Amino acid sequence: MILADKIANLRKKNGWSQEELAEKMQVSRQAVSKWEGAQTVPDLERILALSRLFGVTTDYLLKDEIEDEECTDDAEQEPVKRVSLALANEFLDWRSRAAKRIAAAAFLCIAAVIPLLLLSAATTLPGLSVPENGAAGAGLVALLVLVAAAVAMFISCGFRNAAFAFIDKEPFETEYSVDGMVRERQKAYRPAYVNSNIIAACLCVLSPIPLFIGALTEKVYLTVVMLAVTILLAGAGAALFILAGVRWAGMQKLLKEGDYAPRDRKKIRIKETVSTAYWLTAAAVYLGWSFGTKDWKTTWVVWPVAGILFSVVMCLCNLFIDRAQEKQSK
């Protein structure tokens, strides 16, 4: 029995179509068809992948005289997905585009309160006859529109990332040359990553300066304008952190380094869960306080306080996880 027949028989035995086998092997359906038609022979990397996928030895696949299946110890295990060079490039290109969208969405969430602040403060200007209810209503509409746009961007990124979800959730292997390609891209991106983090940190640290300047004046509207500038600077810093971090994290995921090393996978999932719950709680507190008191000029302070406390929460989370892992290892 030749290799072509063996591949076809093993595929049918597992109940897979040519399309399904092609998807698992990260090749085209035409490539599988040519293998089974004896028009082409899989290269060594594909032979090894087929061996792992079907749970048979490479000798069984390559030697015509071996008719009976020789199963490996991994025959009943779920095959590990492989990331090809093309898929890795596609993933990194998507992370680059997603970083911009996520950063923009985060910026919109932070800046959404600015129209409400400016419109509310405009009612204090002597030359304008802006009704308070009208200003508050228009400000709330602007806030909700901006937040809705941000949420739409987050959801869109989530759906488009579905094709690469296994990289976050499942064990995977990278094909030959993927590691070298990712390291080259990481090396080229490192200066921009470092500079972006430096600039973002400086923006966040310096963002309160306009607010301090505004506090020195007795003009309410000018104070609110300076507050808006503070929020814009803080939002720009946060967006820059995200813009750099999302791309860098994508490279680390493929290299299985840093926070994405296999031994830290469980820790990452726990931290992501805690982080999601934390920011949802912060958003609930902000909206509840804001709508309950209608004091939007004050409630914005929830976000800088939440940002400061977040680092503390993550440090405690790491401490508890490390202690739990130490207990399990004993």
Answer whether residue 106 is part of any domain. yes
pLDDT at 265 over 70: no
Answer whether residue 133 is part of any domain. yes
The CATH number given to whatever domain includes residue 21 is: 1.10.260.40
Q: Are residues 93 and 238 in the same domain?
A: yes
pLDDT at 120 over 60: yes
Percentage of the chain with pLDDT > 70? Answer: 85
Answer whether residue 75 is part of any domain. no
pLDDT at 304 over 50: yes
Percentage of the chain with pLDDT > 90? Answer: 20
**pTM, two decimal places:** 0.64
Q: Work out the pLDDT band at 76, boundaries 50, 70, 90.
A: very low
Who wins on pLDDT, 188 or 264?
188
Who wins on pLDDT, 260 or 5?
5
Q: Are residues 101 and 214 in the same domain?
A: yes
Answer whether residue 72 is part of any domain. no
pLDDT at 323 over 60: yes
Total number of domains in the chain: 3
Who wins on pLDDT, 152 or 227?
152
Q: What secondary structure does DSSP assign to 281-327, as a single string? A: HHHHHHHHHHHHH--HHHHTTHHHHHHHHHHHHHHHHHHHHHHHHHH
Answer whether residue 26 is part of any domain. yes
Q: Are residues 136 and 278 in the same domain?
A: no
Average pLDDT over residues 28-42: 86
Q: Work out the pLDDT band at 297, boundaries 50, 70, 90.
A: low
Highest mean pLDDT among 7-16, 144-153, 249-258: 144-153
Answer whether residue 70 is part of any domain. no
Average pLDDT over residues 238-243: 91
Domain stop point among 258, 291, 319: 258
pLDDT attached to residue 77 = 47
Alpha-carbon dihedral of residues 117, 122, 125, 128, nearest 10 degrees? -170
Cα-based distances in Å from 212 to 2, 208, 209, 225, 319: 79, 6, 5, 12, 36
Answer whether residue 286 is part of any domain. yes
Q: Are residues 249 and 277 in the same domain?
A: no
Helices and strands, number each (H, E), in the chain? 15, 2
Of 87-91, 92-96, 112-116, 298-302, which range is least confident? 298-302
Average pLDDT over residues 52-58: 82
Q: Are residues 114 and 58 in the same domain?
A: no
pLDDT attached to residue 95 = 93
pLDDT attached to residue 132 = 74
Q: Are residues 144 and 198 in the same domain?
A: yes
Q: Are residues 250 and 328 in the same domain?
A: no
Q: Work out the pLDDT band at 68, boundaries 50, 70, 90.
A: low
pLDDT attached to residue 69 = 54
Q: Give tens-digit pLDDT for 145-169.
A: 998 999 999 999 988 888 888 887 7
Largest pairwise CA distance in the chain: 96
The domain of 148 spans 85-258
* Separation of alpha carbons 320 and 322, rounded Å: 6
pLDDT attached to residue 181 = 92
Q: Are residues 109 and 219 in the same domain?
A: yes
Q: Are residues 198 and 89 in the same domain?
A: yes
Q: Are residues 251 and 278 in the same domain?
A: no
**Cα 67 from chain centroid (whole Å):** 47
Identify the CA nearest to 47 among candidates 4, 18, 1.
4
Q: Are residues 230 and 97 in the same domain?
A: yes
pLDDT at 264 over 70: no
Q: Give tens-digit pLDDT for 165-187.
A: 888 777 778 877 888 999 999 99
pLDDT attached to residue 75 = 43
pLDDT attached to residue 80 = 65
Q: Are residues 121 and 231 in the same domain?
A: yes
